[in-house]
Structure 1
Amino acid sequence: MRSVVAGLTVWGLSVLLYAASDGSGLVQACSADYQSFCQDVKPGGGRVVACLRKHLAELTNSCRDTLRDIGPITGDTPRQSLPAPVSAAPGSVLRDVSYGADPAQKLDVYIPDHPDHAAIMFMAHGGGWEFGDKGAQNVVEPKASYWRARQVIFISANYRMLPQAAPVDQAADLARAIAYVQAHAQAWGGDPARVVLMGHSAGAHLVSLITVDEGIARSAGVQPWLGTVALDSAAMDVPALMQSRHLPLYDRAFGKDPAGWAAVSPYQQLKARPVPMLLICSTERATSCDSAERMAAKIAQLGGKVTIKPLARSHMQINAEVGADNEETTTIDTFLHTLGVG
């Protein structure tokens, strides 16, 4: 089969993909991916499409986007099928609001006392892509209290974890959650256009990936947002991370096959100017600030607005103490003011 495919004309390969996809447009978008991963799959019955989906994290962006156009990929939900909004009174907290069918796809909404077209801080927790919770003390407080006092809605979201969902699917979950928040923000007194993404550690990697990979946000129905705050991620450049000495948790998250690393790497997926970003990194970690500096340099080269802030704070402090009277909170506030929040 490999020798036959290698000798196919462009027209012949088109016939194969057309038969496999019912004319979905995979011909132009996925021909290279087909030859890389699915040459031995017999066309027909959707078998080639199924094969490509199994290699989602390794596909080119154009092929992934086309697959999403054909039908939902794990973690994708069309905007019109999002769960119905849950209304709440000012000053209340909505817990375990479902933004998807999976039990992990829930978020908490912390509404200020006087929301009026309020800005929204959307928080993604860390935990090495395999644990963590939206309600953990170091995720919520003092963040929620701090921003609610400033009449900003605070959202804390859960998402599926390893081994159930790979990082690319986790990013899709969070994009779905963002779309839900934007679709229903007005029910809470919020402004769907005034959303700021924030994540810590693995969560910082995921919100950064959503920020630079337009296909993830577009597939979930996410509308433009104001900016993104990444709290101490060492995984901005996944290939560089994996090719250097690293913790085993990164092997569990990204695997040992280099072919798939670029697809989940914010640095590699950064190809156009993103929304403004704030990258806070701990100088107490070996690779965090190096990773942030490389990311910031590429954003700047693309004409984007980026602020990098190295802090002599531990990885956990940079998360747990946001909202307290300290340098990281001041840095975030300054960034938010540039976005018109605060």
Structure 2
Amino acid sequence: MSISRHWLCLPALLLLPLLLGLANEYAVARPSRRTQDLAYVPANDPTYDAERHRLDVYAPKEASVALHPVVVFIHGGSWNSGSKGFYSFIGRRLAKQGVVAVILNYRLAPQVEVPAMADDCARAVIWTTQHIADYGGDPQRVFVMGHSAGGGLAALLTADNRLFQRHGLARNPIRGAILDDPAGLDMYDYLQKMEYPNDAQYLVPFGKQPETWREVSAMYHVTATTPPFLIFVGGKTYPSISGSSRKFREKLTALGRPPQFAVLPGKHHIPMVLQLYWQHNVLYQQLLKFVGV
């Protein structure tokens, strides 16, 4: 789901602290340098999209000899909406705390299906490894992060090495993933069951072939060598997200790769990302340890 779609539906009591958070964004989180609208796919590429193949880089403002860890953030939006522009607060918060952040756009349904979205995100990560040193980031310490649909894509990038092998990389450059209330970890199971109203809408981004549902589900690609995961789930999120996240944790644990896993009591799906307005949020506290700040 996208933030914009639900903004006007938020309770008044929630809107007030968010507005304060927006004010705080400009008052406190400005010690960062933003470079906008960098193309991560060449303009002569047949798939090139002038709007969706773009990313923004947020770097700490103070110069440093040492390179910073890098977090590539993938937005949510039910695979059919969302934009990097909604999430500048995450880029600024991370940069303020010593992380170089990359916030990206990727193509959406109905223009493309999820395999193409995953390929876009992989190409953004590859661009990051090739260019992020120019912005003070360490190409050897690239992590991915995502909320909702973006969490499912981040998990897939971390687990499915073929997404990078197709572009000539011998090894997956991702060092770990931070999943914030991730959706789509096991769409093979989800779309076979069709348990919830309006589930047919997901046949637009995922198509109608079960083999494709499995291919784009991180659940079926994790191995004993998959990089580590840091996973946060809302205590009041959608049952499909809490259930698939639990199964994903169990799968990783059985492989000898138990993730860091936390359920945040009382949190619904959208507030799981909105809480990242606040610098000292528990997600940032754990993320900084995870990436080695």
Q: Is the 8 A contact 1:110 1:153 kept in 2?
A: yes
Given candidates 156, 176, 200, the residue that maps to 2:147 is 200
In the alignment, which residue of structure 1 is the partner of 2:247?
A: 294
In the alignment, which residue of structure 2 is the partner of 1:308?
A: 261
In the alignment, which residue of structure 2 is the partner of 1:231?
A: 180
Q: 1:24-51, CA deviations, whole angstroms, 9 ceiling, x for partnerless residues?
A: xxxxxxxxxxxxxxxxxxxxxxxxxxxx
RMSD: 2.0
Taking a change above 3 Å as real, the CA distance of residues 144 and 235 of structure 1, as seen in their structure-2 partners, is same
The structure richer in strand per residue is 2
Distance 1:333 1:282 in 2: 17
Give me the identity figure in percent. Answer: 28
For residue 324 of structure 1, report the CA deviation from its aligned partner. Answer: 1.3
Alignment of 1:141-220 (within 5 A): 141=89, 143-220=90-167
Q: Is the 8 A contact 2:234 2:269 kept in 1?
A: yes
Distance 2:230 2:241 in 1: 14
Q: Is the 8 A contact 2:230 2:290 kept in 1?
A: no
1:321 aligns with 2:275: yes
1:121 aligns with 2:71: yes
Distance 2:284 2:192 in 1: 32
SS of residue in 2 equivalent to 1:159: coil
For residue 263 of structure 1, report the CA deviation from its aligned partner. Answer: 0.8
Distance 1:156 1:325 in 2: 17
Q: 1:105-131, CA deviations, whole angstroms, 9 ceiling, x for partnerless residues?
A: 100011211253011111101111111
Taking a change above 3 Å as real, the CA distance of residues 289 and 198 of structure 1, as seen in their structure-2 partners, is same
Q: Which has the larger radius of gyration?
A: 1
SS of residue in 2 equivalent to 1:337: helix
Distance 2:192 2:235 in 1: 21
For residue 144 of structure 1, report the CA deviation from its aligned partner. Answer: 2.2
- Please say which of residues 217-226 and 117-126 is displaced more in the overlay: 217-226
For residue 223 of structure 1, report the CA deviation from its aligned partner. Answer: 4.9
Q: Could you say which structure has the greater relative contact order, defined with CA pairs below 8 angstroms and 6 or more residues apart?
A: 2
1:242 aligns with 2:191: yes
Where do 4+ consecutive residues of structure 1 move more than 6 Å?
A: none
In the alignment, which residue of structure 1 is the partner of 2:226?
A: 274
Counterpart residue type for residue 267 of structure 2: R
Q: Is the 8 A contact 1:119 1:152 kept in 2?
A: yes
For residue 267 of structure 1, report the CA deviation from its aligned partner. Answer: 0.7
Q: Which runs of 5+ in 1 are unaligned?
A: 1-89
Aligned length: 247
Q: Is the 8 A contact 1:160 1:173 kept in 2?
A: yes
Given candidates 85, 90, 108, the residue that maps to 1:135 is 85
For residue 295 of structure 1, report the CA deviation from its aligned partner. Answer: 0.5
Given candidates 24, 34, 46, the residue that maps to 1:93 is 34
Q: 1:127-184, CA deviations, whole angstroms, 9 ceiling, x for partnerless residues?
A: 1111110011xx221x223222112111100011112221111111111101111111
Distance 2:268 2:201 in 1: 19
The two structures have a TM-score, normalised by structure 1, of 0.67
For residue 309 of structure 1, report the CA deviation from its aligned partner. Answer: 1.6
Taking a change above 3 Å as real, the CA distance of residues 166 and 325 of structure 1, as seen in their structure-2 partners, is same
Distance 1:273 1:105 in 2: 30
Q: Is the 8 A contact 2:118 2:157 kept in 1?
A: yes
For residue 293 of structure 1, report the CA deviation from its aligned partner. Answer: 0.9
Distance 2:173 2:285 in 1: 20
1:105 aligns with 2:57: no
Distance 1:172 1:282 in 2: 28
For residue 335 of structure 1, report the CA deviation from its aligned partner. Answer: 4.4
Q: 1:234-274, CA deviations, whole angstroms, 9 ceiling, x for partnerless residues?
A: 32111221123133332222233323221111112224431
Taking a change above 3 Å as real, the CA distance of residues 332 and 291 of structure 1, as seen in their structure-2 partners, is farther
SS of residue in 1 equivalent to 2:166: helix
In the alignment, which residue of structure 2 is the partner of 1:74?
A: none
Distance 1:332 1:294 in 2: 24
Taking a change above 3 Å as real, the CA distance of residues 149 and 260 of structure 1, as seen in their structure-2 partners, is closer
For residue 185 of structure 1, report the CA deviation from its aligned partner. Answer: 1.2
For residue 193 of structure 1, report the CA deviation from its aligned partner. Answer: 1.1
